[in-house]
């Protein structure tokens, strides 16, 4: 009888402990459910302060905005990529004060931005691009696509190279292309120099006659972590 009573007592204790664990789990789940999700967004543009034009970007391996939320020790940064037209948007942010750093840019460094993000926050970055593509022209003769352009560089470093890039959509650029024509420069560019680059589609297995492709002129400045500067892509049917 004593053994039975002991077993019953032990079973009751285990049952009690199990119920406590279940209620604790339910309480924690309810608390987690009450936590609010992201309630703010940041959107905006990268604008050439001299021309007022959007500064064209790469959609992959391009520039980024690094965001660090205030109020946390050793906070992990968040990163926002640009769209090809030089705009950006992130709708999954928490309302807070942030430090914002443009990194891996195609424009000269700017000061850290300190701002409050709540609701829908617009941010315009007024910048000086490393290189401006001047008088860009892309034409087609037969199945040969030819680009002509000049460069206006805004720093003293060399221009590393220029290129004409062909792709399947408007996101075309140096890292996202079907084919390319490039020229190494490795010199300071003279704004009076006219560059000419051509792609013969007849020699390119990935370019088909009768189909439309996007062509884009780019140039790379010699600076740490620099990204390409571009002219807008043009759609041409072969």
Last residue of a domain, one of 127, 161, 180: 127
DSSP code for 226: -
Give a yes or no: residue 135 inside a domain.
yes
Q: How far apart are CA 108 and CA 49, in angstroms?
A: 11
Give a yes or no: residue 30 inside a domain.
no
Instruction: Tell me the per-residue pLDDT of 194-234, one tens digit each, with 9 for 90 and over.
Output: 999 999 999 999 999 999 999 999 999 999 999 999 999 99
Helical spans, DSSP H, in the chain:
2-34
In the block, tokens 């664990």 appear at 21
Domain that holds residue 174: 131-237
Q: What is the pTM of this model?
A: 0.82
Shared-domain flag, residues 182 and 231: yes
Give a yes or no: residue 209 inside a domain.
yes
Give a yes or no: residue 10 inside a domain.
no
Shared-domain flag, residues 70 and 117: yes
Last residue of a domain, one of 127, 153, 185: 127
Q: Are strands 120-127 and 113-117 parallel, antiparallel or unpaired?
A: unpaired
Any bridge partners for residue 131, and if so which?
Answer: 153
pLDDT in tens, the chain (238 residues): 444 444 444 454 444 444 445 444 444 444 444 557 888 999 999 999 999 999 999 999 899 999 999 987 788 899 999 999 999 999 999 999 999 999 999 999 999 999 999 999 999 999 999 999 999 999 999 999 999 999 999 999 999 999 999 999 999 999 999 999 999 999 999 999 999 999 999 999 999 999 999 999 999 999 999 999 999 999 999 9
Instruction: Count other Cβ atoms within 10 Å, centred on residue 195.
Output: 20
Q: How far apart are CA 97 and CA 117, in angstroms?
A: 6
Q: C-alpha 155: how far from its chain's center?
A: 23
Shared-domain flag, residues 119 and 150: no
Q: Are strands 212-221 and 229-230 parallel, antiparallel or unpaired?
A: antiparallel
- Which CATH number goes with the domain that contains 222? 2.60.40.2060
């Amino acid at each position: 009888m004593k053994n039975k009573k002991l077993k019953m007592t032990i079973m009751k204790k285990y049952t009690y402990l199990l119920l406590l664990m279940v209620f604790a789990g339910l309480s924690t789940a309810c608390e987690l459910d009450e936590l609010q999700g992201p309630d703010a967004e940041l959107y905006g543009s990268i604008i050439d302060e001299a021309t007022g034009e959007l500064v064209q970007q790469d959609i992959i391996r391009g520039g980024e905005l690094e965001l660090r939320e205030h109020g946390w020790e050793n906070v992990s940064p968040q990163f926002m990529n640009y769209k090809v037209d030089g705009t950006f948007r992130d709708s999954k942010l928490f309302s807070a004060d942030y430090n914002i750093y443009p990194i891996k840019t195609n424009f000269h460094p700017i000061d850290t931005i300190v701002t409050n993000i709540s609701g829908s926050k617009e941010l315009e970055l007024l910048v000086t691009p490393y290189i401006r593509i001047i008088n860009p022209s892309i034409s087609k003769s037969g199945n040969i696509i030819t680009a002509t352009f000049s460069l206006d560089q805004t720093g003293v470093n060399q221009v590393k190279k220029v290129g004409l890039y062909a792709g399947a959509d408007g996101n075309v650029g140096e890292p996202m292309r079907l084919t390319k024509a490039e020229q190494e420069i490795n010199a300071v560019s003279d704004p009076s120099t006219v560059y000419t680059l051509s792609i013969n589609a007849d020699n390119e297995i990935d370019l088909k006659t009768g189909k439309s492709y996007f062509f884009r002129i780019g140039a790379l400045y010699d600076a740490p972590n620099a990204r390409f500067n571009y002219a807008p892509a043009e759609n041409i049917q072969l």
